[in-house]
Amino acid sequence: MSTPVYLSAKEAATELGVQPATLYAYVSRGLIRSVPGPGKQRRYDASDVRRLQERKEPGDPADPRPLSGTAVLETRLTLITDEGPLYRGQSAAELARSSTLETVATLLWGCDDDPFAAPAPQSFAIDLEGLAPLDRLMMALSAWPQQDRAAYTLSPALLQKKGAALLRYGVAAMLRQPPSNAPVHSQIAGAWGTAPDAKGVLRAALVLSADHEFNTSTFAARCAASTRAPLHAALISGLGAFMGPRHGASSDRVSAWLSEIRSREDIEPVLAARLARGDGLPGFGHRIYQDKDPRANALLQIISETASDRPFMAAVPDLIGQAEALYGSSPNIDFALSVAQRVFDLPADAGKILFCTGRIVGWIAHALEQYQAVDQIRPRATYIGERPR
């Protein structure tokens, strides 16, 4: 068996003729594998580097051709690493230990002044009864111009404050509560009547969900912002993509199969039955992370530290071990959110609400950054249909 060849970051970037940031983007997209190297350095699979360098044929599924004139869209917001996302160079996992979502918002939005010092917006002028949480959010965002006469402004001096108001407004809509100046995790804990020890877990979940580079919903929000759509409309675009079962609503699918496990004795038969039926295991595996999702690790660790004495928490290590043995993949953030929901007896939509609430901060950050860019995002397609003869 041949021994794999690994390159340093400098060697790999040189062979590809790109900057290190582009190399890291290729790694985050799964185009190049990396392994731990000496110290804190990484080493990069030479076969992946050379295959990427040599590939010229259009239509290759891994084709890194540009979307808008560069190899990848540029951002100063979030870098995905094997240790998890870095928000403007700061570890999201470390921020989750002590920071509020509002603090992370001021970091990602590049604030000099606190946009959350302004009063909360007014209560809703529309009827949101009978709607699910994300539908209430969609309706509330659509009605935002009723609240704000300057809803269509793109003034940099106003947008950060509008972002803070929209976050509070959106959270209130999902919770069916009046908008509040209280920290978001406290609002959620109060609305759900959670035990005091759950507040830190809620806060951590929000921080870890805030941004993850150019996921589908964030890219949709940036596309809208690139047309100079107003901020609330960019959020609507992101929310529309988020609502799909393969993205933000994935935690619902996790909670569905997790509800079948009532004790440790249920773990093996439930997972084995799913595998025998050919059912996937939502909450395990990730398109970006080749090994573990560091966000899931961070949140599960915080849950364990907080609620080690709760009955279901004792079964989680066995559950993860069985899932990895049968499916060959590790838990992702959706699984961790569903575990929090189960351990702390949170409402049925809790995982989805936490994920969406955190991600609103990221959508706003990306919209603000995109407003500063000159180009409109306009990808080109590779046409594979019939041509004139």
How big is the chain, counted in residues? 389
> Which of 144, 240, 243, 213 is closest to 366 using CA atoms?
213
Q: Which residues neighbour 31 within 8 Å (Cβ) at sequence distance 6 or greater?
A: 48, 52, 62, 64
Query: Would you say the C-alpha torsion 228, 150, 360, 160 has a positive or negative sign?
Result: positive
Nearest Cα to 348, choosing from 164, 134, 76?
A: 134
Residues classed as catalytic: 286, 334
Distances (CA, A) of 300 to 72, 82, 96, 104: 32, 17, 12, 20
Q: Are 88 and 107 in contact (CB under 8 A)?
A: yes
> What one-character DSSP code corresponds to residue 284?
B
Beta carbons of 176 and 128 less than 8 angstroms apart: yes
73: nearest Cα among 365, 375, 363: 375
User: Which residue's structure tokens are 């996937």?
Assistant: 280
Handedness of CA 365, 68, 89, 213 (dihedral sign): positive
- Tell me the H-state helices in the chain: 9-16, 20-28, 46-54, 92-95, 101-108, 133-142, 144-147, 156-175, 184-192, 199-208, 216-226, 231-242, 250-258, 264-277, 294-307, 311-327, 333-343, 350-371
- Per-residue tokens: 32: 């190049």
CA 25, CA 30: separation in Å to the nearest integer? 9
Strand order in the sheet with 90-91: 78-81, 84-87, 90-91
Neighbours of 66 (CB within 10 A): 11
